[in-house]
Structure 1
């Protein structure tokens, strides 16, 4: 049975392994992303030129130079507040996606459960997070728990939808072959359904990685004295625009880092490409 299932799994993949990275991999990556790098640098230069040309007051819209000085002057404050947001986003990402994956597996193997609970998931998703946040604060207090829950809720629905679709996308021919070979449901899941679902899952995880940071920040807006969200509110009310922009840049950078972290894991896990239909 083991040899047969291995051969079935190998049939869903293209045989060639990934080539080892070249010595100039970093340089190649820079050239591959050169258009994006130039576009970002161009936008920053244009931003600074507009600030200088129209003499825009710093409290309204600081230039990149002002934001850079804000980074230097408030490095300790920014670092102190980025860690709580990172923790809330990471825990929300893990728990939200874990619950979504477990529910997706249950839905695929139980049509009754899918009919009963899928609409509830849609209803929860339809509630605006900004409206749900105060309710969670009232229920769980003003600590870390509501922030993690909100970050998890934002991650939950895209992963649930994609994982259900991915598990159902397994080739019917391969499923029939596994049943002919007397494979158990667990063997079918690990050898056929799960590999088929991985591209769908990682597509959702990359969305969730950035959304979890947004969820944590939104949660911090509702009664919090720490984190990037609280720092954004404080900088806004005190007209500290350079600090506000610096905090937003840090939040965006944090989301980008999490996105690329998931992308790197995806490349390590998915070492095959689906065979294109004729």
Structure 2
């Protein structure tokens, strides 16, 4: 029996990994296959049951709305010149995408600086943590939808209020992960550093901070998604004028509200698809940086992000 098991293992190793193992190792293939299956089932369901686009649009309708907003699919005779092209750009999705992306990225950087800075400060002074941390937790329990109008009053309708709101939403996960990571250093490692007469700064820089980096990057992965949610929330409450010279208010949040109010369900789904792609893209950028910086740290369940 043992000989048979060894032969099976040898044959598996000789034949290479199975299909399931290959899909698990290359998650993008698994995602691509599942995405295609989802689209096929979705299209077939809507077509077979004759569901109205107002209720639940088909993927083909959503794709048409995306082509209309991103690639000027139904502009008629095409682009007549540079002036026409710039006019189309100002009325397309690109103005709204760039507006929201700028707010989310700046909010992410702001929230990262605040969260990382407070986490490091709290670990250096228990007094500061005991005084400030209760206020931070209490502030986080407040509904962000109730706080957003105050940010509009304080900082205006332009991008500044959206950046502050995105940073507010993004900083707390990073703060918690930073504190957990800095506290995760093994006791025997700390005792060893103390036995070698290491200073507090040396213990932090050579042991605690490197040990906390996987947790910190896991916080980055969560914060970058939350920053996009904060920017959209700010645009829901009060969107400002376009930064790049477009007409009217800009931002995917205000565009989503306009399409919802006009009962454009297909357009609403198109904006949701764009937001999903933006969130995935921002998250993948953070994961790429994480793999480059933390090539020495194996990923575990404790250090995985959203």
Gaps of at least 5 residues in structure 2 are 1-21, 71-88, 240-248, 301-306
- The farther-off stretch of 146-155 and 30-39 is 30-39
Give the CA deviation at 1:216.
Answer: 0.6
Q: Could you state the TM-score of these two structures normalised by the residue count of structure 1?
A: 0.85
Aligned partner of 1:263 in structure 2 is 287
The 3 A distance-change label for structure 1 pair 86 and 243 is same
Gaps of at least 5 residues in structure 1 are 1-26
Match status 1:248 vs 2:263: no
Please say which structure displays the higher CA radius of gyration.
Answer: 2
Aligned partner of 1:47 in structure 2 is 42
Aligned partner of 2:263 in structure 1 is 239
The DSSP-based 3-state class of the residue aligned with 2:56 is coil
Aligned partner of 1:5 in structure 2 is none
Give the CA deviation at 1:124.
Answer: 1.1
Give the CA deviation at 1:173.
Answer: 2.4
| Contact 1:74/1:243 (<8 A) preserved | no
Aligned partner of 1:74 in structure 2 is 69
Q: Could you state the TM-score of these two structures normalised by the residue count of structure 2?
A: 0.77
- Distance, in Å, in 2 between the alignment partners of 1:30 and 1:217 is 34
- Distance, in Å, in 1 between the alignment partners of 2:274 and 2:104 is 14
Match status 1:149 vs 2:171: no
1:51-66 counterparts in 2 under 5 A? 51-66=46-61
Match status 1:107 vs 2:102: no
The DSSP-based 3-state class of the residue aligned with 1:192 is helix
- Distance, in Å, in 2 between the alignment partners of 1:273 and 1:135 is 42
Q: Note the aligned Cα RMSD (angstroms).
A: 2.0
1:185-200 counterparts in 2 under 5 A? 185-200=200-215
1:131-170 counterparts in 2 under 5 A? 131-170=146-185
- The farther-off stretch of 179-188 and 238-247 is 179-188
The DSSP-based 3-state class of the residue aligned with 2:46 is helix
How many residues align? The count is 250
Give the CA deviation at 1:184.
Answer: 2.9
- Distance, in Å, in 1 between the alignment partners of 2:51 and 2:237 is 31
- Distance, in Å, in 2 between the alignment partners of 1:112 and 1:31 is 47
Aligned partner of 1:184 in structure 2 is 199
- Distance, in Å, in 1 between the alignment partners of 2:67 and 2:232 is 22
Give the CA deviation at 1:141.
Answer: 1.1
The DSSP-based 3-state class of the residue aligned with 2:178 is helix
The 3 A distance-change label for structure 1 pair 63 and 274 is closer
